[in-house]
Amino acid sequence: MTHTDQRGAETSAVVARLSRLDQFLPIWIGLAMVAGILLGRLIPGLNSALEAVKIGGISLPIALGLLIMMYPVLAKVRYDRLDTVTGDRRLLFSSLLLNWIVGPALMFALAWIFLADQPEYRTGLIIVGLARCIAMVIIWNDLACGDREAAAVLVALNSVFQVLAFGLLGWFYLTLLPQWLDLPGAELTVSGWDIAVNVLIFLGIPLLAGFLTRRLGERAKGRQWYEASFLPKIGPVALYGLLFTIVILFALQGDAITSRPWDVALIAVPLLAYFAIMWAGSYALGRAIGLNYERTTTLAFTAAGNNFELAIAVAIGTFGVTSGQALAGVVGPLIEVPVLVALVYVSLGLRRRLFPTVTAPAALR
């Protein structure tokens, strides 16, 4: 058997071991998006009911979906290996550079290139670029067989910087930099406390739950039982949480999406460019600095993903629920979800070409 045939056989074996939910994930996500939009259009008052109770400025059903989605993945993290990540300066420095310098600057440039005559949408996109992902990226990284421990560390690092830098970067990109470039700007009112609460809820709770689950589970029955018996049972819950979150999100925002299709298309173009450039550039950087497949993948997905929940909450709180800024935030997940799902498969394909020595991973769930 040739080397190419062997790699193909390994990949086929991995796919065969995946659950049906994993194998047809793009279909399920597409159906969830359609179902959410239809529910929002067909059931009167659903939007108000879903928004009636909020946690951290986010609808309670979405909040629950995010927590359910993140917990099983964070329960898989081997927390006793985190020191191997925190000691990897190439990974940490590259992540900070990509997330907090390159990402916001790229979104600012794309927003002005494609939406120069659409100030509300332009401002909304810039806000999306400032909100670095701390939730769904955990799922994309896991599906692409990235480094779970590295993802946990980078997400935690992004969370700290999000609390400290979001408001400052908002002022810089929406007010100061446009003044320097003699461009019209905007004001952004954002509460550092609200962002901190957002981070504590949507990262702190599932992170603590995952840590305690592993610690107590291994102490009670050992690592072999925990990873071979317990994790496969809770694993599918992450994707159920993801699909539930997508249904609710699109039920809440479906009317805005379907009633302004041309505006959605305008906003989608710079978003598509952003995700493609950020992911490909980050992947190339990881490869160039000598990271292995798992950490290259983690670097790419953590740099490309955005915290659309925070972006939507900030846009609505500052500019209003019917504003163009809020619509730009809503279009974010409409583009991000299918694009990053597609990039999961691109990453797995590149593994075979660029990292031929990587062994086939165990089943994801």
pLDDT at 83: 83
- Between residues 148 and 357, which one has the greater pLDDT? 148
Q: How far apart are CA 161 and CA 96, in angstroms?
A: 9
Main-chain dihedrals φ then ψ at residue 306, nearest 5 degrees: -130, 155
In this model, does residue 8 exceed pLDDT 70?
A: no
Angle in degrees, 0-180, between the axes of helices 136-143 and 60-76, rounded to the nearest 10 = 40
Retrieve residue 89's tokens: 């300066």
- For residue 320, pLDDT over 70 is answered with no
The Cα 262–Cα 265 span in angstroms is 5
Q: What integer pLDDT is reported at residue 92 of this predicted model? A: 94
pLDDT at 188 over 70: no
In this structure, of 19-23, 81-85, 168-172, the range with the lowest mean pLDDT score is: 19-23
Average pLDDT for 128-136? 82
Give 78's contacts (C-beta < 8 A, 6+ positions apart).
Answer: 148, 149, 214
Band (pLDDT 50/70/90 cuts) for residue 57 is low
Domains in the chain: boundaries = 3-354
pLDDT value at 338 more than 80: yes
Confidence of residue 303 (pLDDT cuts 50, 70, 90): very high
Q: How far is CA 113 from CA 81, 116, 118, 194, in A?
A: 43, 6, 11, 31
Q: What pLDDT was estimated at residue 14?
A: 44
**Euclidean distance between CA atoms 112 and 297, whole angstroms:** 29
The whole-angstrom distance between residue 117's C-alpha and the CA centroid of its chain comes to 29
The predicted model scores a pTM of 0.78
Q: Could you please state the CATH topology (level 3) that the domain comprising 3-354 is classified under.
A: Na+/H+ antiporter like fold (1.20.1530)
- Max mean pLDDT among 234-243, 252-261, 341-350 falls in 341-350
